[in-house]
Amino acid sequence: MSTVRIEIDGETLDVPAGITVAAAIARVERPFRRSVKGHARAPFCGMGICFECRVRINGVAQQRACMIAVHEGMQVVTDD
């Protein structure tokens, strides 16, 4: 399987092409976001409904990590 190189919270990693940003974050066991009261949250519905997996992708905030596939050079910032 071909891979793409992305960056998550400054860490460079190679992940299989075609997987979602959510799957890539899970592979490095990073948290996804903090809730309004500061609790750690991670993907829940898996299909773009619950918005629990929101992260910053290429500078754009509030992106659903479960809806977007990884791309070469992508920069992901989680909300930890």
Among 4, 6, 55, 66, binds another protein (CB under 8 A): 66
8 vs 20 by CB, closer to another protein: 20
| Contact status: 77 vs another protein (CB under 8 A) | no
Looking from the CA of 78 toward its CB, the CA atoms found within 13 Å total: 26
| Contact status: 27 vs another protein (CB under 8 A) | yes
3-state secondary structure the chain: CCEEEEEECCEEEEEECCCEHHHHHHHCCCCCEECCCCCEECCCCCCCCCCCCEEEECCEEEEECCCCECCCCCEEECCC
Interface characters, 31-50, with another protein (x: CB under 8 A): xx--xxx-xxxxxxxxxxxx
Q: What are the residues binding another protein (CB under 8 A)? A: 1, 15-16, 18-20, 22-24, 26-27, 31-32, 35-37, 39-52, 54, 62, 66-69
